[in-house]
Amino acid sequence: MQDSTHETLVIIGSGPAAWTAAIYAARANLNPVVYEGEPTPEMIPGGQLMWTTDIDNFPGFPEGIGGQEFMDLLKKQAQRFDTRVVGEAITSVDFSQRPFTLRPSWSPPITADAVIVATGARAIWLDLPNERRLAQSGGGVSACAVCDGALPFFRDKVLAVVGGGDSAMEEATYLTKFAKEVVIIHRRDEFRASKVMAQRALTHPKIRVEWNTTVTDVIGDDFITGLRLQNTVTGEESELEAGGLFVAIGHTPNTAFLGGQVTINEAGYIVPTVPFRTITNIEGVFAAGDVIDDYYRQAITSAGTGCMAAIDAERWLAHQGDA
């Protein structure tokens, strides 16, 4: 390919996993290039932490730190070691032979000896205009109770959780530590969560359930003050006063661009071929962060797997004689 550029290591993504991988790879003299993606209605470069106003659970920040500031610091640290950054997404890949071929959004294709996929997963939202606005502005709407629930903003308030699976049960139970009351809003008359998780939520004195109910609007200008609800059986509408909304209806891993060449599970997450490693079914392709994690989904765990992926890639490239 005459117009293509060849790279030793390409990192796809721009969350904690990608930048941590870049830091480790750059310090190992792999000269990595990061394709950080482009803004879309669903995601922006930097991932879900770009919508998080305060991060209080990442070690090393005793006073907490804003999500956008945190991601900017990670990026700058990677660039300090001469990581190159391209503001494009990788739209498709060809992993059928080495060097691999990757196609950016508008630039010519590039080739790479090794690739780290750290594209994360995006939260599934309710698609209500005020929901997304308040989530982005720090107005009390979140897709991660473990990330945000302990913030002073949510303490001693009525908090709503939308969902009916294990994640929703976990979020609701976790929030009882801080909330005055937790209201689970579920569109059906029974949970799809496991019996153990459902029972734990149903028997908790701080949790009550609005069955057969959907959220039709989020009320509030600068901050959420309540929810408009509709009963799915009777059509009856009502309002719920609430100081926070946690949407727990799932995540979609950003793996479609891989074209099925990397092994994924039924939910779309990349499946490493070796436990506690970042190796995929394609030699030379590694994965890190929320794109392989449907359980923890935390910045600190993503960063950890980013470190692991860089080390795995470095050792693999050295074995191949490429590093």
What average pLDDT does range 224-253 have in this prediction? Answer: 96
Model pLDDT for residues 67-121, shown as the tens digit of each residue: 889 999 999 999 999 999 999 999 999 999 999 999 999 999 999 999 999 999 9
Q: Are 170 and 142 in contact (CB under 8 A)?
A: no
Q: Judge whether 144 counts as a catalytic residue.
A: yes
Q: What is 5-122+251-320's CATH number?
A: 3.50.50.60
pTM, entire model: 0.82
Q: Judge whether 290 counts as a catalytic residue.
A: no
- pLDDT-based confidence at residue 41 (cuts at 50, 70, 90): low
Residue ranges covered by each domain of the chain: 5-122+251-320, 125-247
The third-level CATH classification (topology) of the domain covering 125-247 is FAD/NAD(P)-binding domain (3.50.50)
| Catalytic entry in 54, 72, 94, 148 | 148
Model pLDDT for residues 155-198, shown as the tens digit of each residue: 999 999 999 998 899 999 999 999 999 999 999 999 999 999 99
| Catalytic entry in 113, 144, 290, 293 | 144
pLDDT at 322: 60
5-122+251-320 and 125-247 in the same fold = yes
| Catalytic entry in 54, 113, 147, 312 | 147
Q: Judge whether 307 counts as a catalytic residue.
A: no
- pLDDT-based confidence at residue 291 (cuts at 50, 70, 90): very high
- pLDDT-based confidence at residue 50 (cuts at 50, 70, 90): confident
